[in-house]
Structure 1
Amino acid sequence: MKKHAVSYAIIRFQPHVETGEFANIGIVLVAPRASYLDFRLETKRLGRLTSFFDSVEGTTIRGVLKSYHTELKRIRDLAGYTGSGQRRFEFELSDNAEHLFQALTKDREGIIRFSEVRFAMTACPKSKLDELFEYYVRRNFASSIYREGLLEKQVRGFLKLRDIGRNFKPMAFSDGLYSAKFPFVEIVEQEPLMVLKPIYLGQDEPTRILDHGNKWLFTINRLKEKLPPNVVFAVEGPKDSPIRKRAFQEAVDLFRANDIKVVDAGDENALVSAIEQPA
């Protein structure tokens, strides 16, 4: 399959030029030889922007992104066809798309900025645009495994700070057919007394939240006879979206119904209390 050379830039929201802080909010991509110019802009999941740039009103952020989305659509239309099969310009469409892309991504002052232009090869520019958006804006690399790795580092820091981390070691348990490794198992006089497992339950979809929660519930129930009596889940849930929060709460309720203690992974005091005062 023929591959196309594409150029793309990351669209950034930078309300405070003085600090240089920004957040990725979209991607604009051009494939000149394929006469393709398109973009994707985040206009719905704005929790990250409103919490990070807390000095900017949420209504202001939404207004800026809505207006810019309209402007990007106008520019995209300029690079395309009228709908009647006739080009809007007499010169080559590929030139038009590339020139518009270069003008759009030119460095200038303002709340909306662009990264440096980057390059890639792809057989499908639209799929590449979606892929780049999911990576740079939605951060799909931040899977539950990745996020749980970050939670493990956070919990390890808490334990070290309270000088209780020395009793916790990674340890695997198995019933002969099924096995699982836990990053924190409290061992006293060579006897495992507690399992502490950080779990990320902030996935993009409610189904994925419940699936991941059920995976660890199955693991605990399957290995119940092999595990120490105390099991603690340090969880992180979604920060927005009522439906995702409902799924998260359902997963937490299932944990507790199965005698698993649940604490907020970000609450150091609650975490330490659960360790020092096991059920």
Structure 2
Amino acid sequence: MKKFVCHYALLRFRPFVETGEFANVGVVLMAPAARFFGYRLLTRYGRITQFFHQLDRKVYLQGRALLKQEIGRFAGDLRRLALGDGHTTPDLPLADHLFAEFVRPREAMLQFDEQRIVLADDPRVKLDVLFDHYIERNFVTKEYQERLLENMVRKLLVGQRLGAAYRAEKVGNADFTVNFPFVRMQDGRPARVIKPLYLAQDDTTKLLTHGGQWVDKVRRLAKRNALPGAVMFPVKAPPRDTKQYQAYDEIREDLQDAGVTVVAANDESSILRFAAD
């Protein structure tokens, strides 16, 4: 079966330039030899407002609506100028040029990532596969879930006027450092650390691997006398009475043995008491 060269780019939503945080919210794909251009955009805006909790949902919805109009105009120009109507030969170089210009990086809340190329038997099916992989799964990864937890903790700290006291820092010494999202410095040294941790994976191997990585980091810092005296991990745990919870319990005990205070991610009072001490 013939394979078609497909050009595609992921669409990113980045509302706050200062933080650099973004979420993949769509994908556009062109296969000029197949005369195909298509796109898919995330429609469930609740995921966006969860991730960017300070954001009014209308900002994303209005931006998406304007982008859909822009994509529609581009699709019409692409077909008229380069892809033809089925009776003429597609102008492949022109199609490549138009697509590259359309997805070039711009300073905007909705912006395309770098252009990529993939081979596909059916470009329409490949578009769905890419959307499922990069956009749908983007919202179920542990990295995304931990960013949600970090946003929750940041909101708590700001609400109690503690936000300025904590910032992202590297903790360690000359030969080993660990990045933490919330560190309070005292006399030029890390004094208190808060690290939200997502351990509600369905797969116990993934849970133990991810949790074990943080156990190892904490132990290595302690071995070098570089672990601050006050470290808290607010943790999202799996449901009780499951094999996943047993795996979580193992990680919790290991963290506590290493000197970490472990609390539930929704235990706001404990988090705030720790942060304010």
TM-score normalised by L of structure 2 = 0.50
Q: Percent identity?
A: 31
Structure 1 residue matching 2:137: 3-state secondary structure: coil
Partners of 2:128 and 2:71 lie apart in 1 by 16
Question: Which runs of structure 2 are paired with 1:1-279 in the superposition (5 Å)?
Answer: 1-42=1-42, 44-80=43-79, 87=85, 92-139=90-137, 142=140, 147-149=201-203, 152=207, 182-184=243-245, 266-267=265-266
Partners of 2:61 and 2:40 lie apart in 1 by 15
Render the CA deviation track for 1:45-89: whole Å, top value 9, x for unaligned.
11221122223211121111111112112211222269xx9749x
Structure 1 position 18, deviation (Å): 2.3
Query: Aligned AA for 1:99?
Result: H
In the TM superposition, structure 1's runs of 4+ consecutive aligned residues that sit over 6 Å from their partners are 154-157
Aligned to 1:258: none
Structure 1 position 155, deviation (Å): 8.8
Structure 1 position 96, deviation (Å): 4.3
Pick the structure with greater CA Rg: 1
Partners of 1:49 and 1:116 lie apart in 2 by 22
Structure 1 position 26, deviation (Å): 0.5
Alignment check: 8 A CA contact 1:9 1:118 kept? yes
Query: Aligned AA for 1:135?
Result: H
Partners of 2:78 and 2:69 lie apart in 1 by 15
Partners of 1:62 and 1:35 lie apart in 2 by 30
**What stretches of structure 1 of length at least 5 have no aligned partner?**
163-180, 187-194, 197-264, 270-279
Render the CA deviation track for 1:108-130: whole Å, top value 9, x for unaligned.
21111111111111101111111
Partners of 1:112 and 1:40 lie apart in 2 by 14
Alignment check: 8 A CA contact 1:37 1:101 kept? no
Shift in alpha-carbon separation, 1:185–1:45, aligned structure 2, 3 A: closer
Query: Aligned AA for 2:11?
Result: I
Alignment check: 8 A CA contact 2:24 2:138 kept? no
TM-score normalised by L of structure 1 = 0.50
Structure 1 position 135, deviation (Å): 0.7
Query: Aligned AA for 1:94?
Result: L
